[in-house]
Amino acid sequence: MRRHGRTSTRARRGGALVAGVVAGVALVATGTTGGSVRGAPAAAAAPARDLVVGSAVAPPSLDPTSNASAAIDEVFDYNVYQHLVQLDPKGDVVPVLATSYAISPDGLRYSFTIRRGVRFSNGDPMTASDVVFSLRRAASPRSDYPYADLLAAMASVSSPNPRTVVVRLSRPDNQFLYSLAAYSNGVVLDPRAVGKISTDPVGTGPYVYESEIPGYDVVLRANTLYWAGRPALSQVTFRYFSSPEAEVGALKSGALDVIDNLPDPADVSQFVGDKSFAVIDGPTAGKIQVTINNSSGPLRKLKVRQAVAYATDKKAILEAAAAGFGTVIGSDDVPGEPWYLPSIDKTYAYNVGKAKRLLAEAGYPKGFAVTLTLPPYGYALTAGPLVQAELAAVGIRATITDIQFPLWISRVFEHSDFQLTIIDHVEARDIANYANCAYYWKYAGCTTVARMLTAAEEATTRSGEIAGFRAIVEKINADAVNDWLYNPDQVTVAASDVVGLPDSGIAESFDLSHVSIGGHLSATAKAEGYAS
């Protein structure tokens, strides 16, 4: 879950889209040495300018290590905070605060070479000991990190010399490097500043936290100590809009330079063909789904959950909520993942008659009543009434409750106080959530999936790893844990002179490390998937 693509179910909008779909597949970094070093910001940029980015949901906190909201990562991850390794827009793992890494043949030892000359934005030097501190903090039993469980295999982390960090695992984990790159577990913190992380973030990234007006904007300024050279932007402001119409109007008027992801993708028609704007359409890792509380009343029964899945017309929901920008899915996997199974996306094809029969077989021939809790995201507010009507057609009477996102986090995500909800799980490769028995959808098969997950992560061959994850994909689909709807595209619109935006939404960060206004993009940045 978190913030808010792949070929659409309708025909792709041809050459009208600038820097179209990324075809690269996001693969696990299983090689023994890291890839190319992350380059400097945009080359040959024009004089530093300010950038204003429009977005839909403001961060509920400034601390990505204690809150699962992707609105935090959108602003702070990769921009203020950095990792040893990060995801580029193609989904590949690239060294950043590490210049290289090596993995032992048995998969139990990861050795990172730490970049020289890096300073935190407060002037403190970034050292190997800071990396050790950060990883130990993330993996601590007292950790508040939303994804601390992804470091469960980490047995120890040490620094044998000032430029080396060694992580030892208790068992092989083929996803360990990806987890460091994609999640807040991997951010490198300054131990001397971590006490103020919720009010005064300090990192090594190209930008520094300046100010926040809660619910209205967050302002970042250029980090003059940035190790890769002063950024091309002097200031970045993320401004938040509750109205898609107001956000689109602000971009058209010049009050915004960028909309990071159109709340209503249908609005793209207002920009296609206008040379003043560029439209960047690319893949995400998101899974927009009807999340089902598997421990609540009738929803405990498999046939009831299957009926919910058959009752929803996923193609119609994709068209209505995303203007067709996305792909219907049938489990917790999306195009581009190594274990993606296209065939599974058709398992619960829309079938009202079958849904009614399953409800009758489950003991609910006249249906039942449920609540459908919606967070304030455009896709949820659009899809919610459609899901409500489709469920009503088979006898399930859903009452919609709209709540703000902080309350959604508290009530739904943290306390499982819900029956149905609609949310986008944007984290890449997050299938491990189904092995977590405490996770908010309360899946009864979690223990079995945990065993399957361990076997897949410890597989000694690539084919064995993929087969193991595909078996999990098939199991959670068969158990109808959730009603997966679609994998959305990210549709970004920007003034035509903005260069270097990420051309996908695979990473949760809206990575501005290469952005300039009127500049030229380096060859390295182009190769990594930043739009020119």
- Tens of pLDDT, residue by residue over 84-113, are 999 999 999 999 999 999 999 999 999 999
What's the rounded Cα separation, in Å, for the pair 202 and 181? 19
The identity of residue 254, as a single letter, is G
CA-closest candidate to residue 420, choices 304, 271, 294, 522: 294
Residue 427 has pLDDT above 90, yes or no: no
Asked if 193 and 120 touch (Cβ cutoff 8 Å), the reply is yes
- Work out the mean pLDDT of the chain and round it to a whole number: 90
Does residue 72 sit within a domain? no
3-state class (DSSP) for residue 296: coil
Instruction: Scan for tokens 């010049």, then name that residue.
Output: 254
DSSP 28: -
Greatest Cα-to-Cα distance within the chain, rounded to the nearest angstrom: 69
How far out from the chain centre does Cα 85 lie?
A: 16
Amino acid at site 454: T
Mean pLDDT for 413-424 is 97
Both tokens assigned to 114: 């730490």
Mean pLDDT throughout 178-187? 94
Determine the pLDDT at residue 48: 67
Burial grade of 125 (CB within 10 A; 0-12, 13-18, 19 or more): exposed
CATH at 423: 3.10.105.10
**Containing structural domain, residue 441:** 287-488
Structure confidence by residue, pLDDT tens digits, 470-491: 999 999 999 999 999 999 999 9
Confidence of residue 41 (pLDDT cuts 50, 70, 90): low
CA separation for the pair 325, 505 (Å, rounded): 13
pLDDT mean over 236-263: 95
* pLDDT score, position 357: 98
Task: Indicate the number of domains in the chain.
Answer: 1
pTM for the model stands at 0.81
Residue 514 lies in a domain: no
The band of 47, judged by pLDDT with boundaries at 50, 70 and 90, is low
Alpha-carbon distance 21 to 489, whole Å? 9
Helix (H, G, I), strand (E, B) or coil at 98: strand
Residue 210 has pLDDT above 90, yes or no: yes
Does residue 93 lie within any of the structural domains? no
- Band of pLDDT at residue 331, cut at 50, 70 and 90: very high
| H/E element, 207 | strand 207-213
Nearby residues of 323 by Cβ (< 8 Å), 6 or more positions away: 264, 265, 266, 268
Provide the pLDDT for residue 229.
95
* DSSP labels, 419-475: SEEEEEE--TT-GGGGG-TTSTT--TTHHHHHHHHHHHHT-SSHHHHHHHHHHHHHH
Bridge-based pairing state of the strands 326-328 and 483-488: antiparallel
What's the order of all strands across the beta sheet hosting 258-259? 207-213, 217-222, 233-240, 49-55, 258-259, 490-495, 277-282
Residue 263: the pLDDT is 86
Q: How confident is the model at residue 234 (pLDDT cuts 50, 70, 90)?
A: very high
Mean pLDDT, range 272-285, rounded to an integer: 93
d(CA 511, CA 507): 8
Q: Is residue 206 part of a domain?
A: no
In a domain, 461, yes or no: yes
> Which one-letter DSSP state was computed for residue 484?
E
The answer to whether residue 378 sits within a structural domain is: yes
47, burial (CB in 10 Å: exposed 0-12, middle 13-18, buried 19+) = exposed
| Higher per-residue confidence, 475 vs 9 | 475
Q: Is residue 39 part of a domain?
A: no
247 phi/psi in degrees, rounded to 5: -65, -45
Indicate if the pLDDT at residue 37 is higher than 60: no
Query: pLDDT by residue (tens digit) across 334-353?
Result: 998 999 999 999 999 999 99
Q: Which residue pairs from 96-100 have beta carbons closer than 8 angstroms and sit at least 24 positions apart in sequence?
A: 96/38, 97/126, 97/131, 97/188, 97/204, 98/34, 98/165, 99/34, 99/37, 100/33, 100/34, 100/37
Q: Residue 348 domain-assigned?
A: yes
Quote the distance between the C-alpha of residue 508 and its chain's center.
4
